[in-house]
Every structure is written in structure tokens, then in C-alpha cells.
Amino acid sequence: MFSDLVGQDEPVETLRRAAGAAARVVAGEPVASGAMTHAWIFTGPPGAGRSLAARAFAAALQCERGGSGCGECHGCHTVLGKTHADVRFVVPEGLSIGVGEMRALVLRAASAPSGGRWQVVVIEDADRLTEAAGNALLKAIEEPPPRTVFLLCTPSTHPDDISVTIRSRCRLVALRQPPADAVAAALVARDAMPSDTAAWAAAAAQGDITRARLLAADSEARSRREAVLAVPKRLTGVGACFDVAATLVAAAKAEAAASVAEPDAAERSALEQALGAGGTGRGAAGAMRGAAGQIKDLEKRQKSRATRAQRDALDRALVDLAGFYRDVLITALRAPVAVVHGDVAAQSQAAAGKWTPESTLRRLEAVLACRESINQNVKPEIAVEAMMLSLWRG
């Protein structure tokens, strides 16, 4: 289970020890105070394996073989399949996790574990908790029921991601970005990927193993990446900046729309079917009004999910773009580290010869500022246009 976490030896050791202590607690054996903790925060950059680590730990807590997380027993299997009765996963579909959802969760988490081990709540995007939801969670973390464990995943412990009070009550597992060669080795060993493809995909995905797998397997993902890496050379004037910005945002929208189309349609038809059983007898008018409300709710949730998918798609593009300017910078400075986008090395070398390191750094900062703006709800079109102009001017 833990072996799926690439290049994270130290955090894995911490989690193994805690899971061992948790197993001794379940067995009624004495453990040192602090050996097991009720609230954890998993941090790390995208692809470092935050939710993977939380899931592996949840499985180890339910593992029937001494908390080893064997990956083979019934406990481990059901956690992995997300069907374990005592492990709940909170994955926000929209932009935030609301207080209603959190209160219901905290209430259920307070009950005794049905399997006799632990009640585990995994919150996969704890940075999307609303303030009220965070407060509801904080209360539960402050006075945890004896067998309840909260596992929170968030990019960092910055106050924008998680409140200082919640942070202060949790034990921290800081995952790092795994080195590209470790990711490549894992792709060769586990996916039987040819080593040259694995090396290229691991570097291009900047250590994110899920994205590396996608880049290796999906030609559409590869052409989207190529289009993003072609952005710098297309910026030849103000008009081009606006054109390229519009194309980039449109591509993110199209990618997002494709990813939500199927679940949207399935949810809508399931709801319509459920409502269609209403009939036309007495009370039908009231039922109709209720139905309209439910459809509106669904549309609202779907819109929120679409917005999030769009932002995620745009963010992936910006990470690729930032990688390019980083490559230009390390090439100009002759830094002894490998480039991210080896396949466009000629382009980053040419740029390194043309731009000063200072202007490259300003470009890199413009990409990071754009990510930040979008994160803070600036309209993507506006943030991306401003970025393109900065990238062109340098």
C-alpha cells in the first residue's frame, strides 16, 4: 500500500509507525502517548500523492494484519475500493465543502466504528472548506471521539489553505515532489512502460505520476501540452497576446466540458427518472414545485463542478508553461539540473540566448501570478490576458 508512494521514505516511515501503534490500541495493548494521533494533515505539491498517502494510511488503520497495510486483507481491500463502512471520503465536486455536508459528516464520524477499529474521515481537498465548515470540523478535532481519525489533504499549511487553528491540532505529513527519475523508475516497474517514454513523461509531468501516465497514454493530453508549449513563440505582438489568451482559455473550457459531460447527463437523467414517478393526482402541483427546485439544485452543483474542472484544466496548462520558463532560466544560468520539457529544449535554449535572466524570471513570475489570480477568483480571461502581455514584454 505504502509502496505506491514514490520517493517519500520519511513520511511513509511516520505513517507505518502510527498505524502500528493504532493496531496495538485496537488490540488493547499499551502505547506511548502521542504514538497515534487523531488528526492529520497531508501536504505536498500536485502529484506528490497526498490523497494516496491518506488512503494508504486509512487502509493501514483498518488492516487486519497488525496495521501493516498489507493491501490483501478484507480491511485494506474495502478501503481501497471506497466501500469500507468506517471510512468516509469527502471529495468536493464544486469549489467548496459546505457546512451542511461537514456537520453531517462530523455527526456520523462520532459513532463507534462498526468494524471495531477506527472511524476514518478523509477530506481530500481540505483547502476547499468554507469557513463555517472549517469551524464545524474544528470542534470535532478539538474533542475527538476515542476511535475517530481525521485525515486532511491540502496543498500546504498556508492559512489560505487551512486555518491556523485546525493546523495547530493536527500532525503534519509533508510529502515532497518526487524526483523525476524515481517516478520514471516506478512507471517502468509497475506499468511496464518503455524506459525512454517513462523518462520523458516523468520529466514533462514534473513528478506528478498520474499526469505522467496520462501523457504517456493519451494523445489528446499530449497535443494539449504541445499547444501550451507553443505559446511563448506565438507571442509576437499585442494582438497575438489576446488571440493566444483566448485560445488557451477556450482549450481549458473545452477540456473541462468534455470531462463533465458524461456525469452531468447521467445525474440529470437519474433525477428526471426519480421525479417522473410523481404522477398527476392530488399533490402533483406541489410535487412539481419540489421537482423544479431539485433540478435547479442539480444545475447549480453541476455549474460549480464545471467551473472547477475548467480552473483545474487551466492550472495544468499554466504549470506546463511555468516549466518552460524555468527551463529557460536554468539553461541561461547553466544550473546543474535537468530540464522539464526536454522535447522543446531547442526552444528554451534559443530563448535563454535572447532574454536576460531577469526578464525570464519576470515571465516565470507572471505565470505564477496568473495561477494565484485565478485561485483568487479573478476571471480566467482577464488573468490570462494580463499574463500574456507580461510574457510578451518580458
Binding site for Zn ion (CB under 5 A): 63, 65, 70, 73, 76
CB-nearer residue toward Zn ion: 63 or 129: 63
User: Which residues, including other chains, have CB under 8 Å from residue 357's CB and lie 6 or more apart?
Assistant: 329, 332, 333
What minimum distance in Å lies between the beta carbon of 76 and Zn ion?
Answer: 3
What minimum distance in Å lies between the beta carbon of 62 and Zn ion?
Answer: 7
CB-nearer residue toward Zn ion: 24 or 301: 24
What minimum distance in Å lies between the beta carbon of 113 and Zn ion?
Answer: 16
CB-nearer residue toward Zn ion: 76 or 352: 76
Total residues belonging to the chain:
394
185 contacts 202 by C-beta, under 8 angstroms: no
- For 62, what's the count of Cα atoms within 13 Å in the CB-facing half-sphere? 32
Say which residue the cell 501540452 belongs to: 225
66 contacts 23 by C-beta, under 8 angstroms: yes
What minimum distance in Å lies between the beta carbon of 48 and Zn ion?
Answer: 24
What minimum distance in Å lies between the beta carbon of 151 and Zn ion?
Answer: 17
Sheet holding 148-154, edge to edge: 87-90, 119-123, 148-154, 39-43, 171-174
Q: Of 341, 388, 384, which Cα lies nearest the Cα of 233? A: 388
What minimum distance in Å lies between the beta carbon of 118 and Zn ion?
Answer: 13
Give me the torsion for CA of 127, 133, 135, 137, rounded to 10°.
-80
C-alpha distances out from residue 28 to 21, 23, 346, Å: 11, 9, 63
Give buried/exposed letters for 372-383 (b at 16+ CB in 10 A, else e). Answer: ebbeeeeebeeb
CB-nearer residue toward Zn ion: 1 or 198: 1
CB-nearer residue toward Zn ion: 66 or 179: 66
HEC letters along 166-186: HHHCCEEEECCCCCHHHHHHH
What minimum distance in Å lies between the beta carbon of 16 and Zn ion?
Answer: 13
Task: Provide φ and ψ at 110, rounded to 5°.
Answer: -80, -15
Task: Supply angle C-alpha 91, 95, 96, rounded to 5.
Answer: 65
Instruction: Note the Cα 295 to chain centre separation in Å.
Output: 28
Q: Of 47, 43, 39, 58, which Cα lies nearest the Cα of 11? A: 43
CB-nearer residue toward Zn ion: 117 or 128: 117
CB-nearer residue toward Zn ion: 65 or 301: 65
CA distance 349 to 346: 5
CB-nearer residue toward Zn ion: 65 or 169: 65
Helix (H, G, I), strand (E, B) or coil at 95: coil
The helix-helix angle for 284-332 and 345-354 (nearest 10°) equals 60
What minimum distance in Å lies between the beta carbon of 73 and Zn ion?
Answer: 3
User: Which residues, including other chains, have CB under 8 Å from residue 211's CB and lie 6 or more apart?
Assistant: 46, 47, 205, 316
CB-nearer residue toward Zn ion: 70 or 188: 70
What minimum distance in Å lies between the beta carbon of 82 and Zn ion?
Answer: 16
What minimum distance in Å lies between the beta carbon of 75 and Zn ion?
Answer: 5
CB-nearer residue toward Zn ion: 76 or 186: 76
